Structure 1
Amino acid sequence: MLAKTFAGVLLGLPLSMALVSLAIWLWPHSESVVIPMLVLFFPVWIGIMAATFLFRSGPRAWAWLAAANAGAFAALFLAKHMLPGL
């Protein structure tokens, strides 16, 4: 139980940052949605932390969240380098 909690807290934070950043970057006319998306950051993080308790074990939670972080940051990197943005 403690491993799932730490996975949600420690890996959920960068995952929610990457997801919100990706949403801001991909949104058309993103200047107008920066503040609402930043407010949305905390519910996304809480949702990720809550979802970690659905995994069978702590190592599975760490593995899936690490893979999700890698995928989200890769998508953000590609979006920033391939698409016009802010």
Structure 2
Amino acid sequence: MYRLIAFNEVSANFTANFGISISPYFDRNGSNKSGLLQFITHKFVRYLARNFGYERTDSLESFVCQRYGKPAWTLLCRLKQ
């Protein structure tokens, strides 16, 4: 889990790996209350399914690794914690 103070670095890393902004996929209110970046995993998975054809029969790990690479999967795992 990332601390909220690292948002700029995490946002830049997310954009570099996935090519989109992290803004729609984190909970600002929850993050401000806890001090930790609260990533909304189900919303991001829905984005992958809608825009890139991710089927939930495949593992998320294999889909992300094939499409974006291992560093993107590592980042996503850290965000999901």
TM-score interval for Structure 1 and Structure 2 normalised by the shorter chain: 0.3 to 0.5
TM-score by length of structure 2 reads 0.33
Q: Which has the larger radius of gyration?
A: 1
Higher relative contact order (CA 8 A, sep 6+): 1
Structure whose residues are more often helix by fraction: 1
